[in-house]
Amino acid sequence: MRVCLVRDILDKQLLDVTNQNAGKVDGIVLEMRPGEPTRVHCIEVGPITLLRRLNRRLGDWFARVDAHFGEGRGVPIRIPISRVILDSPSLRIDLAVDNLPVMALERWLRQHVVARIPWS
Amino acid sequence: MKRLIGIALGIVTSIGGFLEIGSITTAAQAGADFHYQLIWAVVLGTICIALLIEMSGRFAAVSKHTIADAMRERFGLHFFMVPLVLVFFVSLLVLAAEMGGVAVAIEMVTGVHYPVWALPVGLLAWGLLWYGTFSVIENGVAMLGLITIAFLVAALQLGPDWHALVSGLAPTLPDKQPAHYWFIAVSILGASVSPYLFYFYSSGAIEEKWDATYLGSNRIVAAVGMGFGGFLNIAVLVVAALVLAPRGIHVEKYTQLPLLLSSPWGRLGFALFAAALFITCLGATTEIALALAYQIAQGFGWNWGEDLAPRDDARFSLTYTIILVLATLLVLVGLDPLKLTTLSMALTAASLPVSIVPFLVLMNDRSYLGEHTNGWLGNISILVVSVLASIVALVSIPLEIAGGS
């Protein structure tokens, strides 16, 4: 099956193994090596990649802020292309999104904001 | 049987949810200033929103995508941001107008000036969204909105001149105040054709897990529900023409609005008007706040759903919370609810092509809709109306603000 990266992969909805929304495909990374064929390396998800597409400096600023939030933060979130499965009308990743930094903000808000509102 | 109940419920909620501060105010102004001459604008707006609602329901049922989700996917991030930002700011003004409407309704009953009620109204709307479910909001609030049938009863009781009423169905040029006439005409269009409605409707279809078997009921609900809603809107215009126009009252202050029902029915009418304004504006408030949160959450691929507990879609729930806070602040600073309403309705009309053209492109995409893409008639009529409305709005808004006529 022939797949166009921009038409069929970029900006598509991602679902994880538990059927949770795992964000959109915000970026695609190719691997180009001298003398060897180019191949798709991974997809990128999350606000750093998203903001860099809109404005480089805005994305870089966000990355610097994000880096303060712990180990492994402050860089785009990458998912190997081998983990991405076409599952129309979305794309599925065979990972649990809860273990990925994609949900870091969601988790933080759940624990620190929603949990403090009575009966939530 | 279950499907029949679903259709009936859909029709009832469409009727109960049709009127809100925008459609009441613009129709009242039209009737007060131009008698029946602008009925055509209400009819045109009703036909357009019925077509658009049918389209967004069909899109969701066939493609299993919401409109916002598909816009991001089909047009990419940059193009998605344009309607997102524009619809967000215009709808935020409309939201503030609706919350102002709820606050004004409370002022009518208590006599306490409306900005005082901004915070309680914001909290009430937030509480409904945070602790309620989709069906509580959609069915409960819209069902109570059936109280707006009072306008139809009043119109029939006052006995309109049917001959003059029917002649208002054909668009005619005004013999006075042309700029004001066209400003009200596009405000009426902006009040009925609200882009937030199709984001809301397609999300509702996904929340209720529609599939292609819903296409028939979707068509009936859109046509009958919106059609009857349009009748209520015409009724408001007729009542204004019979009650306000003979006394030379131009709707310039929101305190004049209850006259629509208090003139024929006295204190009971006054109370009915306040109740109708309260419930319909509260319904619209929750719909707009949800619609904007849907649009953002779906555009960025978050978990979303009014039926999920806030802990399961924290970003989505906090997005509508922030939206309600922003709109509450706009009411709190005491922007005049009537001016805010007419201006935000005209701005909605001016921005229509930006939200509707990409929507129409989606509606003609076979990769989403297969054989269920739009027919040419629907495409052309929606396109022409939205472009014309936008041009007229862009010309008449500055004229209206400058006070020219």
Q: Which of chain A's residues have a Cβ under 8 Å away from the Cβ of B311?
A: 110, 114-115, 120
Residue A108, C-beta contacts closer than 8 angstroms, at least 6 positions apart: none
For chain A, say whether B63 makes contact (Cβ under 8 Å).
Answer: yes
Per-residue pLDDT reduced to its tens digit, A4-47 = 899 889 999 999 999 889 999 999 999 999 999 999 999 999 99
CATH 1.20.1740.10 is held by the domain B2-402: yes
| ipTM for the whole complex | 0.93
Residue A49's domain spans which residues? 5-116
Residues of B whose CB is below 8 A from A23: 300-302
Whether residue A14 and residue B301 make contact (CB cut-off 8 A), yes or no, is: yes
B64 close contact with A: CB closer than 8 A:
yes
Tell the residue number behind the tokens 């180019």, with chain if given: A38
Backbone angles phi, psi at B200, to 5 degrees: -65, -45
Chain B: nearest CA to A35, how far in angstroms? 32
Give chain A's domain count: 1
Nearest CB neighbour to B310, from listed A21, A22, A120: A120
**Half-sphere exposure for B72 (CA within 13 Å, toward CB):** 30
- What are the Cα distances from residue B93, in Å, to A44, B98, B182, B284? 35, 9, 21, 13
A23–B301 CB contact, under 8 Å: yes
Which of chain B's residues have a Cβ under 8 Å away from the Cβ of A44? Answer: none
Say whether B73 and A50 touch across the interface (CB within 8 A): no
Q: What is the CATH number of the domain that holds A107?
A: 2.30.30.240
pTM more than 0.90: yes
B318 contacts A120? CB cut-off 8 A? no
B170: number of Cβ within 10 Å: 9
CB atoms within 10 A of CB B216: 11
Render pLDDT for B99-121 as a digit per residue (tens, 0 to 9). Answer: 999 999 999 999 999 999 999 99
Beta carbons of A45 and A24 less than 8 angstroms apart: yes
Q: Would you give per-residue pLDDT tens digits along chain B (405 residues)?
A: 778 888 988 898 889 889 999 999 999 999 999 999 999 999 999 999 999 999 999 999 999 999 999 999 999 999 999 999 999 999 999 999 999 999 999 999 999 999 999 999 999 999 999 999 888 888 888 889 999 999 999 999 999 999 999 999 999 999 889 999 999 999 999 999 998 998 999 999 998 899 999 999 999 999 999 999 999 999 999 999 999 999 999 999 999 999 999 999 999 999 999 999 999 999 999 999 999 999 999 999 999 988 889 999 999 999 999 999 999 999 999 889 999 999 999 999 999 999 999 999 999 999 999 999 999 999 999 999 999 999 999 998 998 888 754
B72/A23 Cβ within 8 A: no
Say whether residue A40 is in contact with chain B using an 8 A CB cutoff. no
Give the pair of three-digit tokens for residue A66: 């994000």
β-partners of residue A42 are A29, A80
Which chain B residues are Cβ-neighbours of A120 within 8 angstroms? 130, 309-311
3-class DSSP assignment, residue B317: helix
**Which candidate from A23, A109, A115 shows the least CB-CB separation from B300?**
A23
**Which candidate in A114, A116, A117, A119 is best for mutational testing of the B interface (most B CBs within 10 A)?**
A114
